[in-house]
Amino acid sequence: MKHILVTGGAGFIGSHLIKSILSANQYRITCIDNFDDFYPRRQKELNIEPFLDNANFTLLEGDIRNYNDLQKAENIDTIIHLAAKAGVRPSILNPILYQDVNISGTQNLLEFAREHQIKQFIFASSSSTYGVNENVPWREDEKLLPISPYASTKLSGEMLGHVYSHLYGIRFLALRFFTVYGPSQRPDLAIHKFFKSILKGEPIPVYGDGSTSRDYTYVEDTVQGIIAAMDYDKSNFEIINLGNRKTITLTELINAIEETCGQKAIINRLPEQPGDVPQTFANISKAQKLLGYNPETDIKDGLQTFYNWFNANSAFLL
């Protein structure tokens, strides 16, 4: 069995990824996660609870900035690096911490890969690297002008990967995620936050006039792209969009959430936030060609699945 190291595996995307990989019964997984207090530890514990009795799963509670913590993971074949300080707006408040975790942590992992001759490294990058760019849908060779510390750390991670790929022959695949959503989504993200507020009869914060648009991508579609990247071997460095190739505006999203839960939202209109981009929109032709990537989940179906999960866990989430 190949042995996969998943960083940040107790989080939203990581736990979905681990579930999918383990279901194939072809891989061992070591998950390293520091259970960062950005949101409640209990949600992350619930995410990984189903895996704890699986003989092919090992949990290491540790920090990617601590090289000794990484050394506890042995005989690794592939690294899937999802761990990061997440969020555009919080990164503006604490840019040094974001640089420390997202850049220094990635550097640590690349050194670990070099030292242990791990040849496959998959990096969770972000659509935020594109910044403000009207040339949509975005191709991977667009000019990048990030406008938040978070976005700049993701771009730095991509470039570190290029260095290690060039110098040491590590195959580095940077997957740019586009607004991933679904069950277990972080509570700070719009879809989770909006459902919670609407169901509690509280106002939802809407920044700007509602015209901003996002390429919302269902988590299982993103996971399939990551899994396909595990077996990619045609080149040593690639940057690949994993989006949904469709956009909806913030107003349209709120309408869809209202329809899903059968309640109207109370809107608290607020100014646009620094660091937020007006739109994200992925050209996924490269992912289709290299990874056979084909997102299939419609936003209404994805919202319904999220709502079902939220209801099932409402005692904890509300």
Cα–Cα distance, 77 to 158 (Å, whole number): 20
Identify the active-site residue in 98, 130, 150, 307.
150
14 CB burial (10 A radius; 0-12, 13-18, 19+)? buried
Q: Are 283 and 178 in contact (CB under 8 A)?
A: no
Cα–Cα distance, 37 to 48 (Å, whole number): 16
Cα–Cα distance, 254 to 271 (Å, whole number): 17
Task: Count Cβ atoms below 10 Å from residue 183 Cβ, excluding itself.
Answer: 21
Q: Coil, helix or strand for 61? A: strand
Note every long-range contact of 291-296, with CB atoms under 8 Å and residues 24 or more positions apart, other chains counting. 291/225, 291/228, 291/229, 291/232, 291/240, 292/228, 293/224, 293/225, 293/228, 293/240, 293/242, 294/224, 295/217, 295/218, 295/221, 295/243, 295/244, 295/245, 296/221
Assess whether 150 carries a catalytic annotation: yes
Q: Active-site positions?
A: 150
